[in-house]
Structure 1
Amino acid sequence: MTNLQNNDQPRVLCVGAILWDVIGRTERHMRVGSDVPGRILRIPGGVAMNIAMTFTRFSLTPVLLGAIGRDDGGEELMRAAGSMGMVTDHLYRSDDLPTDVYMAIEGGNGLIAAIADAHSLEAAGAKILRPMEDGTLGSAGTPYNGTVALDGNLTLALLEEISHSPLFSKADLRIAPASPGKAERLLPLMNHPGATFYVNLEEAGLLLKRDFDNASDAALALTDRGAARAMVSDGGRPAGFAADGEVISQAPPEVMVTRVTGAGDTFMAAHIAAELRGEGAEAALTTALKAAANYVSGNSPQ
């Protein structure tokens, strides 16, 4: 279902948060009030951007749809995206809205705390989707029929609009929450006929208002609820993928975890890329788990 560029590299739309990640990392275990030495990084981030960066490593061409300010941070982010081979022509650029930022603290015991400031993306609203309706990437009469990676940083109102919009009616829609706190925003998309949900075990529980013992049960429950397909990850425990009433499960490789921010986005993007290459369900899940393991172990690019 993927559109092709002149060079025949598959194009995929990445819709959502494109921002700067400011991440403090330390090998030490932390608690509330900890003050420890470590490293502070500033790197391109946001769910849509993280997915796009992984796509480029799989020879896919990401087309970014989101909001980036015309401030210094925005100009730098545009240059960074362009240098990685992403299509930035269709981004909504605002003179009034600053470029969004995500800040996180990671310790040896995992993610300690994070704050996502995606206010500019939320304020831009449906303006980020104009290229999908003005004929640039599609229209209501001829909707985009390729793969769309959509993240839950969009407002609930916009996600509800997307759920029944003709602009997305033909899309191979791949959906991820931005965080457990935003998982319930995705409920309106549950019955989209082309939707694949990518969530972790906690997010699956929040969506369905129940607890699950394992990822396979959660994935099946999501498809029973209406999702066409569902992928559920569970950290170092087996992930589950459900479609057409069947479920497969695989355990991720055991690695030393050195970072966590962006791991789920890497997992999702690698799975999409594998499927677009024609890999079957088992092989695609293996590819995704390996990519995520390489990422959290620090053996792939930031």
Structure 2
Amino acid sequence: MLKKVSCIGGINLDIKGSPFKRLELQTSNPGKVFYSSGGVARNVAHNLVKLNVPINLIGAVGNDSFGEIILNEMNNLDIETGHIKISKHFQTGVYLAILNEIRDMYVSISDMQIMEEIDTVFLEEKKDFIIDSKIIFLDTNLNVDVINFVLKLVENKNIKVIINAVSIAKVKKLLQVDNNVDYLTLNFMELNSLLDKELEFPNREGIIKNIQQKIPNFTNIVITNGADGIYFFSRKDNNLNFFPVKEMSSEEIIDTNGAGDAFTAGFIYGLYNDLGINQSIYYGIKASQITMKSYKTVSDELYKILEETENN
């Protein structure tokens, strides 16, 4: 039986509003409101299913209409819902985003109190599935004690662990991570938040020095910065390798929400198929750019990556 990628973390409903014209503050803006299933772990899992990677999704939803919507969609995608806890105490998580006129996020609010349900007791029940994984993906919607529990659970096992930072606030949890983590994916603002610095993206020496001093538990770090490109830090050689990103025109970009999760999924797709770092980052970039051309948080066009892989 194929080993799976276990995605553990946030599952929620995304509600996004975008104005037809320039966003005006402190007033009502005519525009479009769109909702879909979301949450970082759920989004990564959904992308991976589109890329034919077998997954376990472990998380929680509320016993409410939003939870029902999400579970129905998961069933339609043939994603097993048996590892998703239905909470009697919290409502389904909600991510509410307001986009500006060029469909970049202007501000968002994340209600993820339900993550209290994903505790060490719940994950102890799921440990057989977790330790049978090829790769484990965690997001920082999880509490630190839960992240440390999973890392301890897979210590000295041949399982890659990948953590995504999620936000500039939640990334700070990673300062309390005890065990080694194989890969961290985050954007440059999240890196500065984690380091408590205001580094410039081209400042390679400053980035390397601060990573070495402040976040020693991460073996490899993927730092994205939009069209400015990507840095890959490897503790093995203490170096930053740069990967350029082809800039997209404003006409091509429909919605940037979900692009970061798609990047992480594309990167995991490469690692799962043992394609190496360079190719994994390439597929991460490809997945994120495909996603930015879609209204959906997870694009229906990800099959293009599969076609490209087959042709290569």
TM-score (norm 2): 0.83
Say which of 11, 15, 39 aligns to 2:4: 11
Say which of 180, 183, 188 aligns to 2:171: 183
Match runs of 1:1-302 below 5 Å: 6=1, 8=2, 10-26=3-19, 28-109=21-102, 110-133=104-127, 135=128, 137=129, 143-163=131-151, 165-167=152-154, 170=157, 171-189=159-177, 192-214=179-201, 217=204, 220=208, 221-222=210-211, 225-226=215-216, 227-243=218-234, 244-245=236-237, 246-255=239-248, 256=250, 257-298=253-294, 300-301=299-300
> What is the percent sequence identity of the aligned residues?
21
1:145-200 CA deviation, whole Å, 9 max, x = no partner? Answer: 5211100111234334445x2355533111012211211012223x6334200010
SS in 2 for 1:210: coil
Residue 75 of structure 2 aligns with an amino acid whose one-letter code is G
1:7-44 CA deviation, whole Å, 9 max, x = no partner? Answer: x4x52111101111111123534253253222111101
Residue 129 of structure 1 aligns with an amino acid whose one-letter code is L
TM-score (norm 1): 0.85
Q: Is the 8 A contact 1:219 1:230 kept in 2?
A: no
SS in 2 for 1:78: helix
Using a 3 Å threshold, how does the CA distance of structure 1 residues 38 and 160 change in structure 2: closer, same or farther? same
Residue 281 of structure 1 aligns with an amino acid whose one-letter code is I
Aligned-pair distance for 1:216? 7.9
Using a 3 Å threshold, how does the CA distance of structure 1 residues 27 and 289 change in structure 2: closer, same or farther? farther
Using a 3 Å threshold, how does the CA distance of structure 1 residues 161 and 216 change in structure 2: closer, same or farther? farther
Gaps of 5+ in 2: 302-312
Give the Cα separation in 2 of the matches to 1:14 and 1:277: 17
Q: Is the 8 A contact 1:14 1:49 kept in 2?
A: yes
Aligned-pair distance for 1:214? 1.6
Q: Please name the residue that 1:3 is paired with.
A: none
1:49-97 CA deviation, whole Å, 9 max, x = no partner? Answer: 1101110121012211111122232122112112213222112222333
Gaps of 5+ in 1: 1-5
Using a 3 Å threshold, how does the CA distance of structure 1 residues 251 and 168 change in structure 2: closer, same or farther? same
Using a 3 Å threshold, how does the CA distance of structure 1 residues 27 and 297 change in structure 2: closer, same or farther? farther
Residue 149 of structure 1 aligns with an amino acid whose one-letter code is F
Residue 89 of structure 2 aligns with an amino acid whose one-letter code is D
Q: Is the 8 A contact 2:41 2:139 kept in 1?
A: yes
Using a 3 Å threshold, how does the CA distance of structure 1 residues 21 and 185 change in structure 2: closer, same or farther? same
| Count of aligned residue pairs for this structure pair | 287
Superposition RMSD in Å: 2.4
Q: Is the 8 A contact 2:224 2:231 kept in 1?
A: yes
Q: Is the 8 A contact 2:17 2:97 kept in 1?
A: yes
Aligned-pair distance for 1:284? 1.8
Q: Is the 8 A contact 1:254 1:293 kept in 2?
A: no
Residue 173 of structure 2 aligns with an amino acid whose one-letter code is R
